[in-house]
Structure 1
C-alpha cells in the first residue's frame, strides 16, 4: 500500500512538472518577438560582412566576372603607401576622438544643475548632435577658410598670418578631427546626462555624511555609477572614429594628395571610382577587424570589472 502511494505521488509530481502547452508558448514568446529583428540583422548585417570578406579574395570590377586571387588584395595593401597613410589617420582619429568622453562628462556635470535657463543652454550643447555631418563639414570648411574664416579673423587679431589648415598635409587631419569632435562631444554629453539622472541618491547622501566632496565624490561615487554610460560612450566613439567618412568626403575628399584619407574613404574611393570591388572589400575587412578588436577589448574590460 505504501509503495502504491509513493508511486502515485511521484506520478502526480511528474505530471505537475511536465510542461503544458501554455508554458511552452510562454517560453517561446520572447524568441518569437526577437525573430523578426534577428532575421533583419542576419540579412542586412551578418550576411554582408561574410559577403564582403568573400569578395576580398577576388579581383572584381563590380560588373564582370570575378577572378579568384586569394590573399592578393591583402598583399597589395601591405605595399600600398596610401593604405598606411589612411591607417595612420585612423589611429589619430582614435586617439583624439577619445577626448570626447572626458569632455562630454565635464559638460554634462556642468549642465546637470538646477539653475534658471539651464534648459536653453542644454539645447545649445545638444544642437551639434542633431545636425548632419555634411553640414558640420561645410560649416568648419568656412570656419577654416584662410580668406574669410572666423578662425583666421581671430588669429589676425594677434598678428598671426592666415593658416590654410585644409590645404596643409600636416594640419588637415587634425582640423577634420576637431570638426568631428564637436558633435561627438554633444553625443557623449547626452549619454552622461542620462546617467547622472539615474544616480543612486542614497550612495551620494552616504558619501556626503562620510565627508566626501569635490573630486573625491566624483571619482569614488559618481564615476563608478556612470560606468555603463562610459562604456557606451567609448564604444560609440571608437566606432565613430573608425568609420569617419562624411567629414573627410565633405571637407577635403581625402586631400591634399591623399593626406587626410581614412580607411573608410579609401575603401569608397577604390571600390566606386577605381572599380576595384575586391580591393575595397579587403580594406573594409581590415577596418572591420580593427573595430572588432577594439569593441571586444572594451567588452572584456567591462565584463571583468563587473565580475570583480
Structure 2
C-alpha cells in the first residue's frame, strides 16, 4: 500500500515542529543546566569537603553535617528563619487574600491592579533602605508620628523582640500586591453563576466566601503558599541591608549564616552543607504542604 502525499507531508511537518520546539527550549535548557543543575551538583559535592579559596577541596565525608548538627548558631538561625516565615506568610496571605477578594467583588479596575502591584516593582534593597530611614529610632518619621500619640521611640532595628517582625512586615509590604494578583487570578476561575445561585438563596457575602470562594480557591492558594514559603526561607537582602544579622543574632536568618560562612570566613564546604540542609528542608515542606493541601485537585471537578 502506498502512502499518500498528504500523509508524508504531515509526518514531515511533525518532524520539523519537533526540531523547532527543541531549538526554542535549547537556550532555557542550557541556562537551567549551567546556572541551576551544575551549581547544585557542585554544591552538594562541596558539602562533603573541606574547602577554602586557598586550598583545593579535601574529602571529609559527613564531617560538615556532624558539625552542623552540633552548631548552636545554625539552630538559632533556623529558629529565627522559621519565625520570620510564620510572620511574613501569615500576614502576607491574609492581607493579599483580602485585597484580592475586594478587587474581585468591588472593582476590577486595571489601574487599581497596577497600583497594587507597584511595591513589587521596587527592589528589596531599595525597600530595605527606605524603611531603614522611616523606622529609624531617632530621625525616622514612623517614630516621630508615634511620638505624637505618646508612644515610643521604638527600636525597630536594634531591639531583639522587634527586629524580625519589622523585617517580615517590610517584605509583606513589598510582596503582598504580587501575591494578591496571583490569588485574584485564581478567583477569576471560579464560575460567577455559583455566586448568583447562592445570592438567590439568600447567602451573605461572608457565607459565600466561606462556602464557595475558599473551597474553590484552595488549589491556587496552596500553590501560592508553596511559592511564598520557599521565597521567605531564602530571605537575605533585607537582613543584609538593615541589620547584618543583629542585634545579638536576633535576625541572623539561615541565608545570612550561609553567606557569612562562605564569604566572610571562607568555609565554602560548611556553607555548602548548610545550603544542602536548607534545600532538604524546603523539599520536605513543599512535598508535605502539596500533599496535605491537595494542590493538584480541584473541587470544581
TM-score (norm 1): 0.84
2:140 aligns with one of 149, 172, 176:
149
Residue 170 of structure 2 corresponds to residue 179 of structure 1: yes
Q: Which residue in the other structure is 2:196 paired with?
A: 205
Q: Which residue in the other structure is 1:108 paired with?
A: 100
Classify 1:28/1:298 alpha carbon distance in 2 versus 1 (closer, same or farther; 3 Å).
farther
Measure the CA separation in 1 of the matches of 2:66 and 2:288.
27
Measure the CA separation in 2 of the matches of 1:221 and 1:106.
15
Q: Which residue in the other structure is 2:32 paired with?
A: 41
Classify 1:26/1:57 alpha carbon distance in 2 versus 1 (closer, same or farther; 3 Å).
same
Q: Provide, for residues 225-282 of structure 1, a one-character-per-residue CA deviation record: whole Å limited to 9, x for no partner.
A: 3334313321221012100001000111111232211111111111011111001101
2:214 aligns with one of 223, 226, 236:
223
**What is the CA-CA distance between 1:37 and the residue it aligns to?**
2.8
Q: SS of 1:226's equivalent?
A: helix
Classify 1:26/1:198 alpha carbon distance in 2 versus 1 (closer, same or farther; 3 Å).
farther
Residue 280 of structure 2 corresponds to residue 289 of structure 1: yes
TM-score (norm 2): 0.86
**What is the CA-CA distance between 1:161 and the residue it aligns to?**
3.3
**What is the CA-CA distance between 1:27 and the residue it aligns to?**
8.2
Q: SS of 1:255's equivalent?
A: coil
8 Å CA contact retained: 2:81, 2:253 = yes
Q: Provide, for residues 117-159 of structure 1, a one-character-per-residue CA deviation record: whole Å limited to 9, x for no partner.
A: x655544432211101011111211122111212212321232
Residue 112 of structure 2 corresponds to residue 125 of structure 1: no
Q: 35-44 vs 267-276, which deviates more?
A: 35-44
Classify 1:114/1:256 alpha carbon distance in 2 versus 1 (closer, same or farther; 3 Å).
closer
**What is the CA-CA distance between 1:35 and the residue it aligns to?**
4.7
The aligned length equals 295
**What is the CA-CA distance between 1:26 and the residue it aligns to?**
7.4
Q: Which residue in the other structure is 2:130 paired with?
A: 139
Measure the CA separation in 1 of the matches of 2:29 and 2:192.
38
Q: SS of 1:261's equivalent?
A: coil
Q: Which residue in the other structure is 2:15 paired with?
A: 25
8 Å CA contact retained: 1:184, 1:237 = no
Measure the CA separation in 2 of the matches of 1:114 and 1:161.
38
Q: Which residue in the other structure is 1:273 paired with?
A: 264
1:166 aligns with one of 157, 169, 187:
157
Give the ranges of 4+ consecutive aligned residues of structure 1 lying more than 6 Å apart after TM superposition: none
Q: SS of 1:65's equivalent?
A: coil
What root-mean-square deviation, in Å, do the aligned CA atoms of Structure 1 and Structure 2 show?
A: 2.9
Q: Provide, for residues 145-182 of structure 1, a one-character-per-residue CA deviation record: whole Å limited to 9, x for no partner.
A: 11121221232123233121211123211211111111
Q: Provide, for residues 21-70 of structure 1, a one-character-per-residue CA deviation record: whole Å limited to 9, x for no partner.
A: 44862784686244543343233222221211110111111342111111
8 Å CA contact retained: 1:97, 1:237 = no
8 Å CA contact retained: 1:172, 1:260 = yes
